[in-house]
Every structure is written in structure tokens, then in C-alpha cells.
Chain A
């Protein structure tokens, strides 16, 4: 009888904690919840590699690909940072893209949780290419010509 009561209590406690985590707003949650990508890269692996491989290896893939792109001009999309951003950084209902400081940004959602500093975006664009297409072009200074 006591065994069952303890088990019941444990289960109840577990259920409560699940409710607490799920009900928490994203500002306070300690569990990273990266936004869903726009589409699956392919049927089998979802991303360009199986998800568990991507979680472990994405840094290495990006680092090697950047050198191939820069020195050799290889511009394939599989491990391209621009392509990661294109697919993974999505706009909200208002059509706004999240800032890189926000936990709604795909990269930052995990990196902030893991306390791993992100240097990429000191130089690289944080939003997909399409976000820049409609950008108002830079105003030409007056008095030209």
C-alpha cells in the first residue's frame, strides 16, 4: 500500500514538473526550444545530416566549409552558414525576424543555454537572404552630380 502511495506521489510530482516546464514562458525556460525549420532538407534526415550528427558536428562542418568557400570558391549549400540561416531563422506572425540576442533565434536558443559564445554573427548576417531583398536601399547623399 505504502509502495503504491509513493509511486503515485512520484508520478504526480513528475506530472506537475512537466506542467511547470511546459507552462513556463520562453523568457524563463531553461530548456532550449529552437524554432522549427522552414522545411525538411530531405525526407530521411530532416536536416542536411541526421539531427543527432548536426547537433554534435555543425561547428566542424561550418568551419571546414567556410575555408572551402573562401579559398576555393566552392559555394555548395549543404554546409553553408547562409543556407542554415535561410532555413532555420523564421519570421513570427508579425513578419519580424528574431534578433540574434533573442532566444527565438535558432542559433542563440541553444548557444545561450549551453553558454557557448557565438562569434559568427559579429560579421555574418543573422537573417535569411529574403529579409534583405525588400530592404530599403541606402539613401544616396544629396548633392550628387
Chain B
């Protein structure tokens, strides 16, 4: 029964979304409008959001994505203020091949695993994965135990040590809770790209729907070599890399 109804429903939603995208502005095709989810629609697993990061384009010393992320979510209160405990959602990792000396620079953030270890260990259920594959923290029930920070093989999570003020309206954050990259879920729900993607002047990050075979990211993944970080853990992350 469900096997029969689901594909039809999916087709119906797809078609209405296309019609809505066209009807909003006749004559002008707005790419973002056609992708945007109506506010009242819940997310579903017909979509899985992901990123493909081309490390051949990413440049050593450039941290535009990190700065954009900090600004978007108001992460840094003042530069160099207690740097050890400063929350960090994206960090630049520099790799050097010992034998060949080839240097690689890559941004590492929450990899939005299909089977997130942070969710597995969370004692309160605060770590969770949305239907569309975005891994988040429900800070209302996070008790700040930091098991998820221990469990994350990518070291992607931060703990907020200090009282915060002036948080962004779309990105609530508070002392005593764990946080990490949200894939700019507030922008994605509006049909926009995450801040790191739009800020990358080298065009190294492609964001899109891994379930849609026609999306740019799926097309690239289908034709070019890519890998997940620490692939052996079989976590199937939504963030994948090229040229590592």
C-alpha cells in the first residue's frame, strides 16, 4: 500500500513545486523559488542535503568560509578572546603528504552523517537528524554532557562555555549546550545556499540534493572521483571531498 502511494505523492509534490515556481513570476525563472519549500510543509526524506568540497580549488590560508560561518551565526564575540574555548563550526585543515610533499587544504565541519555517532550516544535525544539529512542539536533538551563531542570522529562540535548575548534571531545559541554546523538550515528551508557555499570565492563547495539525480552535486558525484573523510567508519556523510 505505502509502496504504491509514496512515489505518486512524491511526483505530485514535485510537480506542484515546479508549477508554483513558474507561477510566482511569469517570464522570470527564479531558481531559488522553484527549490524553496513552502513554510507549512514538513521536510521529508525525498531530499538529502549534501555538500561536495573540491580541495583542488580550496586554497591554503583562505578562510572565507570560516569567516562567513562565524558572521552568519554570530560565533565570534571578539577576536582572540579565549581562543581555546571559542566555538568553531568550520575549521581549515592543512594536510601534507609525507612522501610527495603535496599539500591539501580543506574545510571540515559537521559531516551530516547518515548514521550519526553523536545521535547514538546522546543520553537525552538532543542530537538528532532531520528527515532531509541535516544533523542538529535540540538545545532545549541538551544537558551539555558533551558525549557527542567525544563520539564525533570529525571533531566537529563545540561547547558554549560562556554566557552569550546578541544572538542572531535565526540562530539561537546558549551557554551550556553543544553546537555544530547546521548546514545553515534556516537558509536551506528558504531555498538558499549555506553561508560557506556562497562565500567561497574559489567555487570549491557545491551544495545540493544528493537524492535528486539531476542536481549539480549528484551529476558531479556521478562523474568525478570523490570520497568521504574516514570512509572506513561507514557513516555515509552528506559532506564529501574531492582531491584528498
Q: Do A and B actually bind?
A: yes
On A, residues with C-beta under 8 Å from B are 66, 68, 70-77, 82, 85, 122-125, 127-129, 132, 137-141, 144-145
B71 interface neighbour in A68, A127, A138, Cβ under 8 Å: A138
Q: Which B residues touch A77, using CB under 8 A?
A: 39
Q: How far is the CB of B109 from chain A (nearest CB, A)?
A: 18
Q: How far is the CB of B175 from chain A (nearest CB, A)?
A: 7
CB <8 Å contact, B140 and A140: no
Q: How far is the CB of A112 from chain B (nearest CB, A)?
A: 18
Known: A75-B189, A76-B40, A144-B63. A138 touches B172 (CB 8 A): no
CB <8 Å contact, A141 and B80: yes
Distance of A72 Cα from B134 Cα, bound (Å)? 11
CB <8 Å contact, B174 and A73: no
Interface of B, secondary structure class, is loop
**Can you list 25 A-B pairs, Cβ within 8 angstroms, ordered by A?**
A70-B138, A71-B128, A71-B130, A72-B42, A73-B41, A73-B43, A73-B130, A74-B39, A75-B189, A76-B40, A85-B169, A122-B174, A123-B174, A123-B177, A124-B172, A127-B169, A128-B169, A129-B169, A129-B170, A132-B168, A132-B169, A138-B70, A138-B71, A139-B79, A141-B80
Contacts A71-B128, A85-B169, A123-B177 given; 8 further ones with Cβ under 8 A? Answer: A72-B43, A72-B130, A73-B42, A76-B39, A123-B139, A123-B164, A125-B167, A125-B169
Distance of A77 Cα from B185 Cα, bound (Å)? 17
Q: How far is the CB of B1 from chain A (nearest CB, A)?
A: 23
Q: How far is the CB of A140 from chain B (nearest CB, A)?
A: 6
Q: Which A residues touch B164, using CB under 8 A?
A: 122-123
Verify if B132 is at the interface (C-beta below 8 Å from A).
yes
Distance of A18 Cα from B190 Cα, bound (Å)? 51
CB <8 Å contact, A73 and B167: no
Verify if B104 is at the interface (C-beta below 8 Å from A).
no
Known: A73-B132, A82-B169, A124-B172. A137 touches B39 (CB 8 A): no
Distance of A123 Cα from B168 Cα, bound (Å)? 9
CB <8 Å contact, A82 and B170: yes
CB <8 Å contact, B62 and A145: yes
Verify if B67 is at the interface (C-beta below 8 Å from A).
yes
Verify if B27 is at the interface (C-beta below 8 Å from A).
no
Distance of A77 Cα from B40 Cα, bound (Å)? 9
B175 interface neighbour in A71, A73, A122, A132, Cβ under 8 Å: A122
CB <8 Å contact, B167 and A124: yes
